């Protein structure tokens, strides 16, 4: 994979003027004569790069500016300031050569035509992107194989389940073999099995085509399975940019030890005392939180003190780590940069 950057964002901003109006008829009438607005900074000085061929997680709470950023990178929104370059193009110029190399997939948003068979929607996109029949058949055969679509092609879109439709939405977005994928919640609303299949497909597409992927998701399993690097934003500003493992190490200095006992043990709290923080103890299962540096010692003491049938040591869920990032930002308050590095 190339070391060049497919996506370069420098001090990117998007500001909306939002009307301010008090409740009541009088306020409504006054707003007809003089409208008062306030500026809302959806994206506020964001700077980042995504190397060619990398799958990068783009994380943040609702309202953090993720979707707005992706829409600017796809050319759907014009920035209020700063610069974005994707594959060397200014996205908002909507150059046909640029559009043929990127795609934007948004969960729960339809690209397929509701009342016609899936195969006809695919053909429509082939015509829109001016893909040759040979290239179209090759791409379609690959996507049908990877996503198991053969039984879905003759069905009208309205007859598909959510999971089936999402697979077809991803396929139709990739028929022109884009080099950059902006995936905004591609697994939202899907069951666990379908989420796993979509993740496997994204990883395989990245491997086969060295595609660059910028992925937003509220399902941390997506991020853990696909992304080594994550970018975290909040209120349109950069909070963290680095390896996922670094994020976990920095904002979660503990590990969780789960112990399944061979038999009931009276006075569990006393036996665990001094080993770590007791999280829970019920139905023969004990959960203890310990500092990472003490994991080996704590495990040895547990094995010596308790009748252990099974024991596991885990890092905390990444979504808990992200919550700590946001909490630390609130504690810092008015940071000069708004970024944690």
The pLDDT tens digits of the residues spanning 213-236 come to 999 988 888 998 999 999 999 889
**Residue 299 contacts by C-beta under 8 Å, 6 or more apart in sequence?**
257, 311, 313
- pLDDT score at 338: 44
- pLDDT score at 336: 41
- pLDDT score at 329: 67
Query: What is d(CA 166, CA 198) in angstroms, rounded to the nearest whole number?
Result: 9
- Six-digit token pair at 148? 């198991």
- pLDDT score at 334: 45
- Six-digit token pair at 144? 């049908």
- pLDDT score at 335: 47
Are 159 and 114 in contact, with CB atoms under 8 Å apart? no
Per residue of the chain (341 residues), what is the pLDDT tens digit? 445 899 999 999 999 988 777 777 776 777 777 777 889 999 999 999 999 999 999 998 888 899 999 999 999 999 999 999 999 999 999 999 999 999 999 876 778 888 999 999 999 999 999 999 999 999 999 999 988 899 999 999 999 988 888 899 999 999 999 999 999 998 887 888 888 989 999 999 999 999 999 999 888 889 989 999 999 998 899 989 999 888 888 777 888 999 999 887 777 778 888 899 888 888 888 999 999 889 999 999 999 988 999 999 988 777 777 777 777 766 655 444 444 54
Query: What is d(CA 318, CA 224) in angstroms, rounded to the nearest whole number?
Result: 8
Q: Where are the alpha helices (DSSP H) in 18-131?
A: 25-33, 66-73, 96-99, 118-129
E strand segments, the chain = 5-20, 36-51, 55-59, 81-86, 102-106, 180-184, 212-216, 229-234, 237-243, 254-261, 277-282, 285-291, 308-314
Query: What is d(CA 33, CA 80) in angstroms, rounded to the nearest whole number?
Result: 27
Alpha-carbon distances, residue 251 vs 5, 244, 246, 258, 334 (angstroms): 28, 11, 8, 21, 19
Are 15 and 39 in contact, with CB atoms under 8 Å apart? yes
pTM of the model: 0.80
Using alpha carbons, select from 110, 139, 104, 76 the residue that is nearest to residue 215.
104
Are 241 and 49 in contact, with CB atoms under 8 Å apart? no
- pLDDT score at 242: 93
Query: What is d(CA 271, CA 19) in angstroms, rounded to the nearest whole number?
Result: 61
- pLDDT score at 1: 45
Domains and CATH numbers, the chain: 5-15+44-249 (3.40.50.300), 254-314 (3.30.70.3400)
Q: What is the pLDDT of residues 230-273, one digit of tens each?
A: 999 988 999 899 998 888 887 778 889 999 998 877 777 788 88
In this structure, the chain runs to a length of 341
- Six-digit token pair at 31? 């707003």
- Six-digit token pair at 218? 């509220």
Query: What is d(CA 268, CA 286) in angstroms, rounded to the nearest whole number?
Result: 9
Q: Give rounded-to-5 percent helix, strand, coil for the chain.
A: 40, 30, 30
């Amino acid at each position: 994979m190339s070391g060049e950057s497919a996506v370069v964002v420098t001090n990117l901003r998007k500001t909306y003027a939002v009307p301010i109006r008090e409740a009541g008829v009088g306020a409504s009438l006054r707003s007809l004569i003089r409208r008062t607005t306030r500026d809302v900074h959806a994206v506020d000085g964001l700077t980042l790069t995504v190397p060619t061929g990398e799958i990068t997680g783009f994380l943040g709470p609702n309202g953090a500016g993720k979707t707005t950023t992706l829409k600017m990178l796809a050319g759907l929104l014009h920035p209020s300031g700063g610069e974005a370059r994707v594959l060397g193009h200014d996205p908002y110029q909507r150059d046909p050569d640029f559009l043929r190399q990127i795609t934007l997939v948004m969960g729960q948003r339809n690209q397929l035509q509701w009342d016609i068979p899936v195969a006809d929607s695919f053909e429509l996109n082939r015509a829109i992107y001016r893909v040759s029949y040979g290239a179209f058949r090759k791409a379609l055969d690959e996507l049908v194989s990877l996503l198991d679509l053969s039984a879905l092609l003759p069905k009208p879109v309205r007859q598909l389940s959510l999971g089936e439709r999402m697979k077809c939405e991803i396929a139709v977005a990739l028929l022109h073999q884009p080099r950059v994928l902006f995936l905004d919640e591609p697994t939202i609303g899907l069951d666990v099995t379908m989420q796993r299949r979509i993740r496997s497909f994204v990883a395989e597409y990245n491997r086969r085509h060295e595609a660059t992927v910028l992925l937003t998701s509220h399902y941390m399993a997506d991020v853990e399975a696909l992304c080594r690097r994550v970018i975290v934003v909040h209120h349109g500003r950069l909070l963290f940019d680095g390896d996922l493992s670094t994020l976990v190490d920095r904002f979660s200095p503990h590990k969780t030890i789960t112990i399944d006992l061979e038999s009931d043990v009276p006075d569990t709290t006393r036996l665990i005392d001094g080993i770590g923080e007791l999280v829970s103890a019920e139905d023969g299962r004990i959960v203890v939180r310990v500092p990472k540096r003490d994991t080996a010692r704590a495990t040895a003491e547990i094995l010596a003190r308790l009748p252990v049938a099974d024991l596991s040591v885990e890092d905390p869920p990444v979504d808990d780590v992200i919550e700590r990032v946001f909490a630390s930002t609130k504690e810092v308050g008015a940071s000069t940069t708004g970024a944690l590095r």
